[in-house]
């Protein structure tokens, strides 16, 4: 974000080390100021922000699902949402903290409690699934990554991640479709396994978060035709009882400008969507219940 030309002021917040990271970043010669806030300065860090990017929380260890992080990360996200509701209620909120399928509804419920929920300004960042899809598919098809754009819909964990390979305009054998779909759905596990107990994706996730934030900043500044898949409050799957869903979303000055439909899918993808919906519904409800009870 320090490299992003649309950023004027970069506020960093964490419970440790932020002043040092802030001082370090502030020497990069781009035209934004940087301040690293300390543990007791959450309000100051958030005050009047336009865009708040939230990657806070603990990462997975091998063998864990993202949902296994719920007990620790739900409370962290709730605290950040409460502070945001007071310090910057009109900001755009980009949620990276896992499990995203539950933390986005948690954030929304807290904002609702404070009477400041704007569904057009809350985004679950699913961009890493899109980056992975582009990387994995281009490797299989011998293409350059910029030529391969995959519409990934649903949520951000396991079977709720649904890549629509049929919409790429490329052809795949049955084996390629099965293998690529599985790799895109469980790409995060590859990193968790390779890091062997020391965490999950941070560098690729940083790139994904920065790409989504850049797209949003461009759209907020009036640039037209900016489309990214993102997990938002959406009418796309409400008939199946799912309130939040990721599809391509056109971004604009108001945040969400237009939510695209799923589009044409084949029989294989229909089955993937069918498998995703009950899991997604459960994850969303878990987030809603957490705020109701706490």
Cα→Cα distances 3→12, 20, 135, 211, Å: 15, 18, 23, 11
Q: 109, 288 in Cβ contact below 8 A?
A: yes
Interatomic CA distance for residues 261 and 13, integer angstroms:
36
Question: Binding to ligand LMR (CB under 6 A): which residues in 60-89?
Answer: 60, 66
Which residue, 60 or 78, has its beta carbon nearer to ligand LMR?
60
Question: Binding to ligand LMR (CB under 6 A): which residues in 122-141?
Answer: 128
Helix (H) or strand (E) holding 53, with range, is: strand 51-54
Task: Work out whether strand 226-233 and strand 244-252 pair parallel, antiparallel, or are unpaired.
Answer: antiparallel
Which residue, 67 or 219, has its beta carbon nearer to ligand LMR?
67
Phi first, then psi: give them for residue 163, nearest 5 degrees. Answer: -80, 130
* Closest approach of ligand LMR to the CB of residue 71, in Å: 15
- Asked if residue 71 belongs to a known ligand binding site, the reply is no
Question: Binding to ligand LMR (CB under 6 A): which residues in 11-50?
Answer: none
- Asked if residue 1 belongs to a known ligand binding site, the reply is no
Beta bridge partners of 158: none
Among the listed residues 43, 114, 156, 260, the single catalytic one is: 156
Which residue's CB atom is positioned nearest to ligand LMR? 188
Count of residues touching ligand LMR (by CB under 6 A): 11
Which residue, 44 or 190, has its beta carbon nearer to ligand LMR?
190
* 6 belongs to the catalytic site: no
Q: 64, 90 in Cβ contact below 8 A?
A: no
| Residue tagged 């099965």 (tokens) | 178
- Asked if residue 17 belongs to a known ligand binding site, the reply is no
How is residue 246 written in tokens?
A: 């990721």
Question: Binding to ligand LMR (CB under 6 A): which residues in 177-206?
Answer: 188, 191-192, 200-201, 205
**What residues are designated binding site for substrate?**
60, 66, 98, 132
Please list the active-site residues: 156
Q: Which residues bind ligand LMR (CB under 6 A)?
A: 59-60, 66, 98, 128, 188, 191-192, 200-201, 205
């Amino acid at each position: 974000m320090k490299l992003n030309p649309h950023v004027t002021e970069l506020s960093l917040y964490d419970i440790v080390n932020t002043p040092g990271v802030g001082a370090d970043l502030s020497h990069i010669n781009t035209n934004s100021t940087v301040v690293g806030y300390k543990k007791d300065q959450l309000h100051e860090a958030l005050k009047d922000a336009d865009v708040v990017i939230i990657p806070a929380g603990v990462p997975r260890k091998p063998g864990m699902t993202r949902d296994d992080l719920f007990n620790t990360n739900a409370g962290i996200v709730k605290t950040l949402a409460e502070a945001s509701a007071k310090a910057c209620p009109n900001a755009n909120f980009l949620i990276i903290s896992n499990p995203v399928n539950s933390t986005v509804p948690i954030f929304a419920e807290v904002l609702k409690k404070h009477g400041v929920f704007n569904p057009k300004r809350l985004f679950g960042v699913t961009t890493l699934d899109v980056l992975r899809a582009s990387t994995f598919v281009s490797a299989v098809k011998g293409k350059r990554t910029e030529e391969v754009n995959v519409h990934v819909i649903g949520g951000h964990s396991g079977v709720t991640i649904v890549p629509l390979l049929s919409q790429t305009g490329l052809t795949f054998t049955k084996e390629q479709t099965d293998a690529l779909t599985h790799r895109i759905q469980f790409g995060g596990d590859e990193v968790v396994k390779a890091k062997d107990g020391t965490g999950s994706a941070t560098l690729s996730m940083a790139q994904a978060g920065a790409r989504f934030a850049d797209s949003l900043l461009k759209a907020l500044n009036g640039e037209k035709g900016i489309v990214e898949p993102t997990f938002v409050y959406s009418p796309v799957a409400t008939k199946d009882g799912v309130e939040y869903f990721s599809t391509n979303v056109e971004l604009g000055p108001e945040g969400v400008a237009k939510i695209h439909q799923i589009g044409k899918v084949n029989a294989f993808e229909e089955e993937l969507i069918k498998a995703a919906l009950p899991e997604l519904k459960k994850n969303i409800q878990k987030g809603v219940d957490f705020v109701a009870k706490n």
